[in-house]
Amino acid sequence: MNFVIIGGDAAGMSAASRAKRTMADLNVVVLEKTEDVSYSACGMPYNIADADRKIEDLVVRKAQVFRDKQGIDLLTGHIVEVIDRKNRTVSGTIQYSGKSFRYAFDHLLIATGGRPKIPALPGFELPGVLALKSLDDGRKIKDYIREHCVQKVVIIGMGYIGLEMAEALRERGIKVEMAKPGPDLLPWMPRDLAQAVEQELAANAVPLHLGCEITGIEETDGQLQVVCKDRMLKANLVLVAVGIQPNSEIAVDAGIETGIGNAIAVNRNMQTSDPAVYAAGDCADAFHVVTGEKTWIPLALRANRAGWAVADNVCGKPTELDGIAGTAVFKVFDLQVARTGLCVEESRSYGFEAVEVVIKSSSRAHNHPGATPILVHLVGEKKTGRLLGAQMVGHESAAHRINAAVVALHNKMTVADFVQTDLAYAPPFGPVWDPLLTAANQLLKRL
C-alpha cells in the first residue's frame, strides 16, 4: 500500500513516522519542496535573537535520519504540481534537476502548510522586505542582518510573530518600530490587558504606529521607507508580519473542497471531500470545541496531532479529533500573554449572550517576595452559564495558568463548575484563590 505525503514539516513528518511505526511494510513517500524538514518554527524568533546561533539548531531531525532509521522515502526538492484523483497519482518537478516525477498513491496526505500574507502594494518585492514562516525565511533574515549591518527594522503587523520578533531584534540592539492600519493593538483583547502589552513595548523602546495606512515601500540609496498616508518610517529592513494563509491551491486545482479562510475542509478523521485524500497542518481547517463549527487557527500542536490521526486512519485504526480551542501563548519581552476559546466579540458573533469580566490579581501570595500583577479576562454565556474563553497577561505564570481554562473549555464546563475546581495553592505560586478562580467568582456574579 502506498501512502504519499506532500509536505515534510510538522504534520507530514508526524504522519510519516507514526505510519511507519504502526505498519512497517507500508510504503511511505514524503515529497518536500525545500531542503528543510522537521524543525521548530516557533523557535525562530528566539534563534534570530542570538547572532551566534545557527538557524540549523532548530532542526529536530535531519532528513537522512528519517530515511536511515525509519525507512521513509523522504524526497526533498520535489515540488508537487498536480494531484490526479482519478488515476490516484501526484506529479511534479525536481527543483534542482528540472526532471519530472510521478508517484501513485492509495492514500494521500496534503500537508503543505501556510505562507505569509504579503500585501499587494508597491515595494513589497524589494530585497530588504522579508517575512518569517519557514526555516529558510529565518535563514534569510539572519543573513540579511549580518550582511547589511542592520540598525533599524520596521515591523508591519502586530500579531504574535511581529511582537516576538520585536523582542528578538531589540535583544540584538536593533531599533524597532511597529506599524499597522488598524487602531488597536491586539484587537481581540480587552483594553486593560492590551495596555499592559503596550506599556511593556514602550518600556523596551518599541514605538507603535497604530492607524498607519500603508501605501507602499520605497528604496532610496539603500535605505527603505515604509510609506504611510501621514508619515514615512525609515528602516534598513522591513519585516512583514500581517498573518498567514493556507497553501491550499493544489487541493483546489484537484477539485477538493475548501472552507473557512480557504483552508482545505476536513472531517474529524482528517479526510477531505475525497475520502482517499487527507489534509493536516496549517493548510487544513478544524472544528472549534466551543462553537462546534469550523475554524482555521494554525497551531503547532494541532499539526502534530492531526498528522498522528491521519497515520492511524491510514493504518486501519479509525481516529477522530475533537477539535481546538484556539489556545495561544506568546512572550513580549518579560510579559507573558495567553488566550484560549472566544473573546467577547467572537462569542457574540456566534450568537452567544456573552458576559465578561476583567480582574487584577497577583502571581503569588500577596506577602510573598517577587509577586507581580496578573490580569485575567473571562467570558461566559448568560443562558447556560458555560465558560467561553479566557485571556491572561502577567510577568509570570500566565502562560501555564491558561491551561486550566483550556481543559474547562474542552469539557464544556460551566463557570459554576469551574469555580469549584481544586486548583493548587502555595504562596510561591499564587494566592489561596487562584487568579482564575477569582475571575470565575466575579463572572459567576455577573451571570
- Cα dihedral 287, 308, 326, 181 sign: negative
| Predicted pLDDT at 359 | 98
Work out the pLDDT band at 222, boundaries 50, 70, 90.
confident
Domain boundaries, the chain: 2-34+77-114+246-314, 118-240, 328-446
Look at residue 367 in the predicted model and tell me its pLDDT: 86
Q: Is 168 helix (H, G, I), strand (E, B) or coil?
A: helix
2-34+77-114+246-314: CATH homologous superfamily?
FAD/NAD(P)-binding domain (3.50.50.60)
Per DSSP, the chain holds a count of helices (H) and strands (E) of 12, 25
The answer to whether 2-34+77-114+246-314 and 118-240 have equal CATH topology is yes
| pLDDT tens figures, 77-95 | 999 999 999 999 999 999 9
**Does pLDDT of 46 surpass 90?**
yes
Confidence of residue 106 (pLDDT cuts 50, 70, 90): very high
Range 232-239 average pLDDT: 97
What is the mean predicted confidence (pLDDT) over 37-60?
94
Share of the chain above pLDDT 70, in %: 100
Asked whether the beta carbons of 151 and 237 are under 8 A apart, the reply is no
Q: What is the pLDDT of residue 356?
A: 98
Residue with cell 494531484: 83
pLDDT of 221 over the 90 cut: no
Contact by Cβ (8 Å): 217, 129: yes
Of the candidates 42, 212, 228, 283, the residue annotated as catalytic is 42
Pairing label, strands 387-394, 335-341 = antiparallel
Lowest pLDDT segment from 11-20, 51-60, 280-289, 310-319: 51-60
| pLDDT at residue 420, rounded to an integer | 97
CATH architecture label of 118-240? 3-Layer(bba) Sandwich (3.50)
Instruction: Please tell me the predicted confidence (pLDDT) of residue 357.
Output: 98
Does residue 42 have an active-site annotation?
yes
For residue 261, how many C-alpha atoms fall within 13 Å in the half-sphere facing its CB? 20
Assigned C-alpha cell, 380: 461566559
Are the C-beta atoms of residues 175 and 196 closer than 8 Å to each other? no
Pairing of strands 373-381, 387-394: antiparallel
List, for residues 280-299, the tens digit of each pLDDT value: 999 999 999 999 999 999 99
Sign, CA torsion 172/174/177/179? negative
Tell me the mean pLDDT in the region 355-365. 96
Decide if pLDDT at 224 tops 90: yes
CB neighbour class for 255 (10 Å; exposed up to 12, middle 13-18, buried from 19): exposed
> What is the reported pTM?
0.95
Distance (Å, whole) CA 369 – CA 396: 13
Residue-wise pLDDT tens digits, 94-103: 998 999 999 9
| pLDDT per position as a tens digit, 401-420 | 999 999 999 999 999 999 99
Question: In the structure grid, which three cell numbers stand for residue 99, read together?
Answer: 526532471
- Tell me the sheet residues that pair with 235: 224
Query: What per-residue string of b and e applies to 372-384 under the rule 16 or more CB within 10 Å gives b?
Result: eebbbbbbbbeee
Does the pLDDT value for residue 445 go beyond 90?
yes
Q: Give Dmax (Cα) for the chain.
A: 70
The predicted-structure confidence for 128-171, as pLDDT tens digits, reads as follows 999 999 999 999 999 999 999 999 999 999 999 999 999 999 99
Rounded to 5°, angle at Cα 133 from 152 and 198: 50
By percentage, how much of the chain surpasses pLDDT 90?
A: 97
Which pLDDT value is given to residue 119?
95
Average pLDDT across the chain, whole number:
96
Q: Between residues 221 and 6, which one has the greater pLDDT?
A: 6
Residue 115 has pLDDT above 90, yes or no: yes
Fold adopted by 328-446: FAD/NAD(P)-binding domain (3.50.50)
Task: For residues 232 and 47, give the distance between their C-alpha atoms in angstroms, rounded to a whole number.
Answer: 30
The pLDDT assigned to 1 comes to 96
C-alpha 142/C-alpha 48 separation (Å) is 6
Q: What is the pLDDT of residue 366?
A: 84
